[in-house]
Amino acid sequence: MLHIFIDGDGCAVKDEVYRVAERYQLLVTVVANKPMNVPANSRTKMIVVREGHLDAADDWIAQHVEAGDIVITADIPLADRCLKAGARVLGPKGEEFTEDSVGGALATRELMQTLRQFGNIGGGPAPMEKKDRSRFLGKLDQIIQAIRRA
């Protein structure tokens, strides 16, 4: 059965995923460093990983994801690991990570991190907008349909 994993810490589209998963009757696992409210149903579960280890949630997802699953994350290194396991990976603003795009995204991430360290750039990603949520929902639906057809 198709399974959606959510990198829960800081994910702005959890509610959207819950609604889509309910419509399609899909399994959802939210993985985070602290407990979060998730829908009370048999298809949704919350996994709390140990605190203090920055990548504990990422590691848990990467160890449990399988080919044909969907991972929701903005974390580019996690996206790369999940793609290598055969999963589809979608960012919270509706951008799908692919084998072709993740290398460039990793390089850009490293460049931006270096620029921030030298004080040449500040801030983080732009805030979520309504169009981002709409793009996310459309792309999630498209990915689910593609996986079901395969």
pLDDT along the chain (150 residues), means of 10: 93 96 97 94 95 85 97 93 96 91 59 61 75 97 95
Q: Would you kindly state where each structural domain of the chain is located, as residue ranges?
A: 3-149
Q: Which two tokens stand for residue 135?
A: 């793009």
pLDDT of residue 133: 96
The structural architecture, per CATH, of the domain 3-149 is 3-Layer(aba) Sandwich (3.40)
Give 114's contacts (C-beta < 8 A, 6+ positions apart).
none
- Please give the Cα distance from 101 to 96 (Å, whole number): 9
Q: Which residues partner with 88 through β-bridges? A: 70
Q: Specify which residues 31 forms β-bridges with.
A: 7, 47
Question: Residue 148: CA atoms inside 13 Å, Cβ hemisphere, count?
Answer: 9
* The predicted structure's pLDDT at residue 111: 55
**Rounded CA gap, 97 and 52, in Å?**
28
Q: What is the pLDDT of residue 106?
A: 54
CA 14 to the chain's CA centroid: 10
The rounded distance, in Å, linking the Cα atoms of 138 and 49 is 30
